[in-house]
Amino acid sequence: MLMRPGSFLEPDLPDRRATGVRGTWSRPVPVPVDTCRVDDAYVAVFDLPGVDPDAIDIEIERNLLTVRAERRPLAQGDEVRTELSERPLGVFARRLLLADTLDPDGITATYEAGVLTLRIPLAERAGPRRISVTRTDVPRRTGG
């Protein structure tokens, strides 16, 4: 199970996006994320359009997963004058708490068409398992 940390770890998503504030390394803009369970793993999908895959940093410390990315402005020469700039730039981040039932060592990441997908497998101990009963031959007491 994935758990969303409290607001002390991430700013309020609607307010930050509405104001057009650029994210900084000390105060990043939250990344939208969807999560679902698929078979024996959780899948987290992050929207990061226009981000170079080399500018994506994924880190895990204990059970805290952090995805951080930076969208930089297009390289422009001295003769270019920007007329309209609506695409958010700066640093984007999202933190998710991973339950103990997940395997942080087995996480895989792919990036395609501006979407980062993390596959977080369940830990082996988290799945259902059978416990076998061992028979011991104990002599029966006879009445007497």
- Threshold 0.85, pTM exceeds: no
Q: Is residue 104 part of a domain?
A: yes
Rounded distance, CA 122 to CA 105, Å?
A: 10
Secondary structure class of 126 (helix, strand, coil)? helix
Contact 65, 95 (CB under 8 A): yes
pLDDT value for 25: 62
Long-range contacts of 69-75 (CB under 8 A, 24+ apart): 69/31, 69/93, 69/116
Rounded distance, CA 69 to CA 54, Å?
A: 9
Rounded distance, CA 17 to CA 135, Å?
A: 64
Q: Give how many domains the chain has, as a whole number.
A: 1
Q: Is residue 45 part of a domain?
A: yes
Rounded distance, CA 121 to CA 39, Å?
A: 9
Instruction: Count CB neighbours of 12 within 10 A.
Output: 10
Q: Is residue 139 part of a domain?
A: no
Q: Tens digit of pLDDT per residue, the chain (144 long)?
A: 555 554 333 444 444 444 455 666 667 788 899 999 999 999 999 999 989 999 999 999 989 999 999 988 777 778 888 788 787 888 999 999 999 889 999 999 999 999 999 999 998 775 577 888 888 877 667 665
Specify the CATH number for the domain of residue 42: 2.60.40.790
Q: Taking the CA atoms of 30, 31, 34 and 38 in sequence, report the sign of the dihedral they define.
A: negative
What residue numbers bound the domain in which 91 lies? 2-126
Q: Is residue 138 part of a domain?
A: no
Q: Is residue 142 part of a domain?
A: no
Q: Is residue 35 part of a domain?
A: yes
